[in-house]
């Protein structure tokens, strides 16, 4: 890690899977069920419960954090994190981080075992279990990402700041290829996270992103990444978007 960066919390560390609970509703949402719109059969619910029990022994949650000063420079609003050798040009990200003086960069994974188990189940013809295990991995990764955000928020609030909603490469106009330098800056390979040639995170049930620090302890208006996402029909949505897509963040040419 570059000299001058402050590695927040405990850096790379293991979290017991029992401390990353995920609910049946989250698994059902990952499977495509919609609250108050679709209902799972008793057989489906039993398969989900079975998959959740098996998944509990396959999760190996790991998280990594670093925080550092943020700079917004130049007429094109280039964002820089000098101590981590990071720089981004994204109007949407610039709007998201308006007023922020620091950022926490984070990455996490629930490990490769659950993805491997899902594929093995599919290969032997147990498609129901394979699909459920995959959904459990998605739900667990989402729960771990939420925990990472809460820990970053606690770290910032202890220093008189509140945090923005989490934001990740691939959101709106932030190039998904920027995952690579972000992961490299915090040495995410220490916890086994890397990217494929097509920029997918590996292991599959992994995530990375940032939150901004804004001076003052007033409640942040956006508590979830869902609040700033206007993707229609998202199966993972936990709350409706806040504001208008044309005013909350800059419009992206050719995109909704």
Residue 109's closest CA among 163, 164, 188?
A: 188
pLDDT tens profile 70-122? 998 655 668 999 999 999 888 888 888 888 999 999 999 999 999 999 999 99
Residue 229 dihedral angles phi and psi, to the nearest 5°: -110, 130
> 173-188 burial, b for 16+ CB within 10 Å, e for fewer?
bbeeebbeebbebbbb
Residue 76's closest CA among 84, 87, 85, 65?
A: 87
The model carries a pTM of 0.82
Residue 184's closest CA among 194, 175, 174, 176?
A: 194
CATH-assigned architecture of domain 13-228: 3-Layer(aba) Sandwich (3.40)
Q: Report the distance separating Cα 2 and Cα 187, nearest Å.
A: 10
Q: How many Cβ atoms sit within 10 Å of the Cβ of residue 154?
A: 11
pLDDT tens profile 18-66? 678 889 999 999 999 987 888 899 999 999 999 999 999 999 999 998 9
197: tokens are 């040639």
212: tokens are 């901004």
């Amino acid at each position: 890690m570059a000299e001058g960066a402050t590695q927040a919390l405990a850096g790379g560390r293991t979290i017991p899977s029992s401390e990353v609970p995920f609910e049946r509703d989250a698994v059902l949402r990952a499977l495509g069920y919609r609250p108050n719109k679709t209902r799972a059969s008793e057989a489906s619910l039993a398969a989900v419960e079975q998959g959740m029990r098996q998944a509990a022994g396959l999760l190996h949650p790991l998280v990594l954090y670093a925080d550092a000063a943020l700079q917004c420079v130049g007429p094109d609003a280039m964002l820089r994190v000098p101590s981590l050798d990071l720089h981004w040009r994204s109007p949407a990200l610039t709007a998201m981080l308006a007023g922020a003086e620091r950022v926490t960069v984070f990455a996490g994974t629930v490990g490769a075992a659950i993805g491997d188990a899902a594929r093995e189940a599919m290969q032997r013809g147990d498609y129901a279990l394979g699909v459920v295990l995959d959904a459990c991995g998605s739900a667990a990764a989402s729960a771990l990402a939420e925990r990472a955000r809460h820990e970053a928020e606690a770290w910032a609030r202890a220093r008189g700041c509140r945090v923005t909603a989490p934001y990740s490469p691939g959101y709106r106009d932030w190039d998904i290829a920027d995952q690579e330098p972000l992961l490299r800056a915090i040495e995410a390979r220490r916890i086994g996270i890397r990217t494929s040639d097509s920029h997918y995170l590996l292991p599959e049930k992994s995530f990375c992103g940032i939150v901004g620090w804004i001076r003052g302890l007033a409640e942040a208006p956006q508590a979830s990444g869902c609040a700033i996402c206007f993707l229609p029909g998202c199966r993972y949505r936990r709350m409706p978007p806040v504001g208008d897509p044309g005013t909350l963040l800059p419009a992206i040419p050719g995109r909704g």
